[in-house]
Structure 1
Amino acid sequence: MPSVDTEQTALPAETSAPSFADLGLPPAIVSALAERGVTSPFPIQAATIPDALSGKDVLGRGRTGSGKTLSFGLPLLVTLATDGGRTQAKRPRGLILTPTRELAMQVADALDPYARILRLDMKVVCGGTSMPRQIEALRNGVDVLVATPGRLRDLIDRKVCILDSVKIAVLDEADQMADMGFLPEVTEILDQVPPGGQRMLFSATLEKEIDTLVRRYLSEPVTHEVDPSAGAVTTMSHHVLVVKPKAKAPVTAAIAGQDGRSIAFVRTQLGADRVADQLREAGVRAEPLHGGMTQQARNAVLERFKGGGLDCLVATDVAARGIHVDGVDVVLHVDPARDGKDYLHRAGRTARAGRSGTVVTLALPHQRKTVFGMLERVDVNAARHIVDGVFTDSLAKVIGSGSLTDMEADTVEREARSAQRDADDMIARAERQAQRAAKLHAEAARLRDRAAKERSGEIPMASSHDDFADRPAKHSRKPYRGQGGGGGRRFERRDGDKWGGKPRNGSRRDDRGHARREERGGERRGGQAGFGGKNKPRWRDRNA
């Protein structure tokens, strides 16, 4: 916890849950929430929205997936919509800073429907996306800017974004900004926000790294810490599987290949690509997600995962906070997290919004002590299993197999199903190609039969006009002016002048479209030397 004097406020467990209308939100927003199935506020929302609407600085902590986005987003939108202010070009009135572009897009997607209802313009500015479009939007005027620190600083340096009109500034996942080394950029940005406005800081954890930001920018903040640690969520079960190196890939495939969706975390981009390849070879629909991919490719992978087109997403820690997907059944630490904080952020991808989830860590024998110590420091009670021989009932439930041999058989069966799907696709493509080939053979036979009858005189020889008159021409050329009907004279261009354009050397066109020359001083300019010789006309009459 930050070493600052703040008012600690918590929502008692026995208190009946209020409605969004009770929190002070306008009826239009309450109705829009209900239309999307959001009828009861989460604890962090019930605790923070009233204070945020009253204009207080807020310091909030809630585990990932606890609803922090609406906690700061709805009050921000409502306040800007009702304060009577007007947004000027290049000067947003609301600012939300996030550490990653994925999270920035997730925040904007979550808040955009309510911004539209309140007639507020929102724009995401982050790396990997079009800067010219962002500049154009800022010049047209943006009410709320959702930004990553690096891209926002670039726009400020270009003088296309000015923060002297910001009334409400929000830091989302502030501790990750500190972990990623963004504190210099964040402080540089917040220094340009005029004092006296509202500040809100939300994070999954509130530790010493946040102390500097809290002391410097928040004024008498109200602190809300209503959710337990991510590791203590009762709907989330934790397991550590001690595996030998040779068994790591098969165990990964066994867990990721079960029914439901899973996210497998690795440490490096190359590791993500490698593990995804291994899973696909084992019959699991998997794709990597990491910072080495373009934003377009990352968005496409996330959409396929959300839409059910993938069984497993293999991600690096850059995605640990940016992925907001409901319905993730298993989080698999293929590579153990570096520290307890990373573990909690990864684990927060499952057991969201009251759902249950499983968190599994694969540890090699030499990693056991490190992993067990890390989990103890963050107060995570994880079941410990040794993957060898016949599995216990609890381990069999996690892996989905009763023994190593069963696991290997399941993996081979998945590979067989994947191979069969590929074979079926190849057979279908082969059948389509065979049908096309049969049609082409028939056409070739018909043409050869006709050619033989033509040679024997049985039928007249087809001319090119007769044979192809009914076929559309591949290329069509419009005639030059004068080539149409009516016996008009045809002219041929010799010097590259364009019909309809401004003629060169002062020549003009008459009403018939023919070029005529202007005479200056008794000379025809078209007949000057340098244009094909003295008095040689630029246009040749092909009918002469």
Structure 2
Amino acid sequence: MKRTDHSGTTGSLGTTGDDLGDLAPAAPAITSFADLELPAAVLRTLTEQGVREPFPIQAATLPSGLAGRDVLGRGRTGSGKTLAFGLPLLTRTAGRRAEPKQPLALILVPTRELAQQVTEALTPYADALRLRMAAVVGGMSVGRQIAALREGAEVVVATPGRLHDLIERKACRLGRVRITVLDEADQMCDMGFLPQVTEVLDQVQPDGQRMLFSATLDRDVDQLVQSYLHDPVVHSVDPSAGAVTTMDHHVLVVHGPDRYAVTTEIAAREGRVLLFLDTKHAVDLLTRHLRASGVHAAALHSGKSQPQRTRTLAQFKNGQITVLVATNVAARGLHIDDLDLVVNVDPPTDPKDYLHRAGRTARAGESGSVVTLVLSGQRRDMSRLMSEAGVEPTVTKVRSGEAELSRITGAKAPSGTPLDGGPAAPRPKNVNAPFRGLGTSKDASRGTGGKSRKAGEARKLAEARKAAMVRRGR
């Protein structure tokens, strides 16, 4: 795959995307938004929003985006990519009016949360330019979304599945879309959205502008670039690993049966924390336990309705909830101010997943820590994954209740007072089997649970027989 920067050099995306770093654009990066031909209304809104100077990804990509070039942009999470593609899209759409059901610009994102976040971030600038925006995502009223498109929306922010549904219902036509953005482009390719994404790109104007952005652009996007981008300009302001100097990485080696207690104590810390687990079931189990232990925790995963997810995120952002227990649905695009700790309770299996989970902290120049819990037998695999991610973590053996665990994470004993009524959660003991969902194998979990159930059923049967004998004796 070939693509050029302003200097005319060519290159290819490597497996980890590192080749992007060799393609710095010849055009100098801007140092001020005033250096650009942005509308006065946009400059005024930037000031009102407290955005004074462009972040590196914005400084690099805004001139190309405003010039109408196709763009491949890579910048670490929290680096300001939304405005990097959003300001050119809005500026180049300003002054035009959409017909019913026929948007003029489209932003495709992989998750509902990211769609909401992008819409919220760009709405002040869209309002300043008198552009109408519509968010088209699953889990929300399809009738309202159809109505918004019928009334006319110049800019649509959409997840692929819901957009596909609305196109099938003939509620949306893409033939007038001249600017298309794929945010977290590589994730959409990873998640099986590629057929729906290519379907969309086949329907927008073939000579229109396309911009692909992510923190980890790599060869997953090659097919899209080869088929749909025209001589794209490559801008990479960070290596794919996104080594952030204000972010500390820790691998905590825990004893299997102690993993549950370690997680509970970390969750009880002062301040907010985001905990990642692999499955919805594990998220729900841990959340219930934490709340029974007196920890203000809430669950976030794809099994929750969109209103529930929106409410949970709002409560986490305003501090009503101090612990967000989530699957990878929270790994991309989620922006929370002042979140200083992310914990991988279940270690990620892919370096890109690690980087995106880690990117929820240390955003926009703030500091933060990323902690990954591993068993002794997982250390080698985790070391390999960290190396591929370009991260050198500090490795420490810890146990619950130890000062070293508190020093690294702020862990402390929970209050033990249940938040939702009912009995307090029993304090985990090191002799117990590992908590189901916290890195234990499904087979082992099933076996342990099965024995417990069988033992309980046998006891109940024996008690019933004894009671029957007593009754007959009477």
TM-score (normalizing by structure 1): 0.71
The correspondence of residues 476-487 of structure 1 with structure 2, limited to 5 A, is none
Corresponding residue SS for 1:99: coil
For the pair 1:65 / 2:78, whether they are aligned, the reply is yes
Change in CA separation of 1:382 and 1:80 when aligned onto 2, cut-off 3 Å: same
- CA deviation profile, 1:483-515 (whole Å, cap 9, x unmatched): xxxxxxxxxxxxxxxxxxxxxxxxxxxxxxxxx
Distance in 2 (alpha carbons) for counterparts of 1:182 and 1:132:
23
Aligned partner of 2:49 among 36, 39, 46: 36
Aligned partner of 2:206 among 195, 198, 216: 195
Matching residue of 1:121: 132
Tell me how far 1:283 sits from its aligned partner.
2.4
Corresponding residue SS for 1:188: helix
Matching residue of 1:376: 387
Change in CA separation of 1:420 and 1:54 when aligned onto 2, cut-off 3 Å: closer
- CA deviation profile, 1:95-131 (whole Å, cap 9, x unmatched): 0000111111110010011101100000000110111
Kindly provide the amino acid, as one letter, of the partner of residue 200 in structure 1.
M
Tell me how far 1:42 sits from its aligned partner.
0.4
Kindly provide the amino acid, as one letter, of the partner of residue 201 in structure 1.
L
- CA deviation profile, 1:236-280 (whole Å, cap 9, x unmatched): 000001111221122112222222211000000011111112222
TM-score (normalizing by structure 2): 0.82
Kindly provide the amino acid, as one letter, of the partner of residue 132 in structure 1.
G
Matching residue of 2:4: 6
Distance in 1 (alpha carbons) for counterparts of 2:158 and 2:340:
30
Matching residue of 1:400: 410
CA contact 1:17–1:40 (8 Å) conserved in 2: no
Distance in 1 (alpha carbons) for counterparts of 2:151 and 2:251:
53
Corresponding residue SS for 1:65: coil
For the pair 1:301 / 2:315, whether they are aligned, the reply is no
Distance in 2 (alpha carbons) for counterparts of 1:154 and 1:264:
33
Change in CA separation of 1:383 and 1:58 when aligned onto 2, cut-off 3 Å: same
Change in CA separation of 1:399 and 1:5 when aligned onto 2, cut-off 3 Å: closer
CA contact 1:4–1:211 (8 Å) conserved in 2: no
Distance in 2 (alpha carbons) for counterparts of 1:16 and 1:183:
32
Matching residue of 1:539: none
Compare 210-219 and 251-260 and name the one that shifted more.
251-260
Tell me how far 1:231 sits from its aligned partner.
4.8
Kindly provide the amino acid, as one letter, of the partner of residue 267 in structure 2.
A
Matching residue of 2:238: 227
Matching residue of 1:342: 353
Corresponding residue SS for 2:415: helix
CA contact 2:300–2:312 (8 Å) conserved in 1: yes
Kindly provide the amino acid, as one letter, of the partner of residue 58 in structure 1.
V
Distance in 1 (alpha carbons) for counterparts of 2:370 and 2:151:
46
Tell me how far 1:396 sits from its aligned partner.
4.3
The correspondence of residues 44-443 of structure 1 with structure 2, limited to 5 A, is 44-82=57-95, 85-388=96-399, 395-400=405-410, 410-411=412-413, 414-416=414-416, 418=417
Pairwise CA RMSD: 2.1
Q: Gaps spanning 5+ residues in structure 2: where?
A: 6-21, 423-474
CA contact 1:255–1:398 (8 Å) conserved in 2: no
Higher alpha-carbon Rg: 1
Compare 142-151 and 24-33 and name the one that shifted more.
24-33
Distance in 2 (alpha carbons) for counterparts of 1:272 and 1:390:
23
Tell me how far 1:86 sits from its aligned partner.
2.6
Tell me how far 1:56 sits from its aligned partner.
0.6
Kindly provide the amino acid, as one letter, of the partner of residue 415 in structure 1.
S
Corresponding residue SS for 1:362: strand
Kindly provide the amino acid, as one letter, of the partner of residue 73 in structure 2.
G
Distance in 2 (alpha carbons) for counterparts of 1:31 and 1:114:
9
Change in CA separation of 1:261 and 1:177 when aligned onto 2, cut-off 3 Å: same
Tell me how far 1:228 sits from its aligned partner.
3.2
CA contact 1:9–1:225 (8 Å) conserved in 2: yes
Kindly provide the amino acid, as one letter, of the partner of residue 316 in structure 1.
T
Runs of 4+ in 1 over 4 A off after TM superposition: 388-393, 419-423
Corresponding residue SS for 1:177: helix
Tell me how far 1:160 sits from its aligned partner.
1.4
Distance in 1 (alpha carbons) for counterparts of 2:212 and 2:401:
49
Distance in 1 (alpha carbons) for counterparts of 2:241 and 2:402:
28
Q: Gaps spanning 5+ residues in structure 1: where?
A: 402-409, 424-544
Corresponding residue SS for 1:328: coil
CA contact 1:251–1:399 (8 Å) conserved in 2: no
Change in CA separation of 1:277 and 1:390 when aligned onto 2, cut-off 3 Å: closer
Corresponding residue SS for 1:299: helix
Matching residue of 1:19: 32
Distance in 2 (alpha carbons) for counterparts of 1:293 and 1:235:
33
Share of identical aligned residues, percent? 55
- CA deviation profile, 1:510-543 (whole Å, cap 9, x unmatched): xxxxxxxxxxxxxxxxxxxxxxxxxxxxxxxxxx
Distance in 1 (alpha carbons) for counterparts of 2:102 and 2:253:
54
Tell me how far 1:23 sits from its aligned partner.
2.7
Distance in 2 (alpha carbons) for counterparts of 1:35 and 1:10:
32
Distance in 2 (alpha carbons) for counterparts of 1:275 and 1:202:
34
